[in-house]
Amino acid sequence: MGLDLRIPQLHLKFDINNKKGMSDLLANNIKLNEVIQSVNVKDKSSQYSLDIIPSGNIPPNPSELIENGTLDNIIEELRKSYDYILIDSTPVAMVPDSLSLLNKADTTLFIVKSEYSKKEYIKSTDELIKKYNLKSAGFVLTSVKKKYYETIKYDKNYNLFASRNS
């Protein structure tokens, strides 16, 4: 679900139409089955399909739409048909939209970009985890330069050990 209603990106990543989406759904202007788009994704070793709900048009009131109560019904309806529901949202440290989503998720992943994300934002996530009593939270570190992971000896030694003992 594309819930970054301020700077939508999900439709660009999957090359899908963004004329209708979550903003329309949250405003009760459209039905759920009208915004779900299926895409096939291929990588080197597998192929799978995803159903995606893009963000839709940028509304004048993103926070209000997300918090109007409709989202709970949408998630409840989606849980009947899907094993996993992923929510793409705004950066937590930038705007309040994502804060109201924290307790709606079973797992919260904070995405951190190497050499870009500010340390104070990363430190503030610990406060959010405590404040919202998040039971399952984690971090995904992206854009790590090759020079860093090539120097980590622990991983190389561990991989050698694991392959000898398997």
List pLDDT tens digits, range 90-103: 887 667 777 888 87
Residue 19 makes CB contacts below 8 A (sequence gap 6+) with 56, 57
Final residue in a domain of this structure, among 46, 64, 91: 91
Reported pTM: 0.78
> Which domain, by its residues, includes 7?
1-91
Mean pLDDT of the chain: 84
Task: Output the six-digit token pair for 31.
Answer: 């039905």
**Does residue 160 share a domain with residue 125?**
yes
**Does residue 158 share a domain with residue 119?**
yes
Q: Helices in 47-152 by DSSP H: which ranges?
A: 62-66, 70-79, 119-131, 146-149
Task: Output the six-digit token pair for 126.
Answer: 């610990």
Neighbours of 112 (CB within 10 A): 16
- Quote the percentage of the chain above a pLDDT of 90: 45
Has residue 155 got a pLDDT over 60?
no
**Does residue 119 share a domain with residue 80?**
no
Closest CA to 58 of 11, 112, 111: 11
**Does residue 36 share a domain with residue 85?**
yes
Band the pLDDT of 162: cuts 50, 70, 90.
very low
DSSP letter, residue 46 = -
The C-alpha atoms of residue 15 and residue 117 are separated, in whole angstroms, by 26
Domains in the chain, number: 2
Task: Output the six-digit token pair for 150.
Answer: 């090539």
For the segment 7-24, the average pLDDT, to the nearest whole number, is: 94
What pLDDT, on the 0 to 100 scale, is given for residue 142?
83
**Does residue 55 share a domain with residue 6?**
yes
For the segment 139-166, the average pLDDT, to the nearest whole number, is: 62
For the segment 119-138, the average pLDDT, to the nearest whole number, is: 83
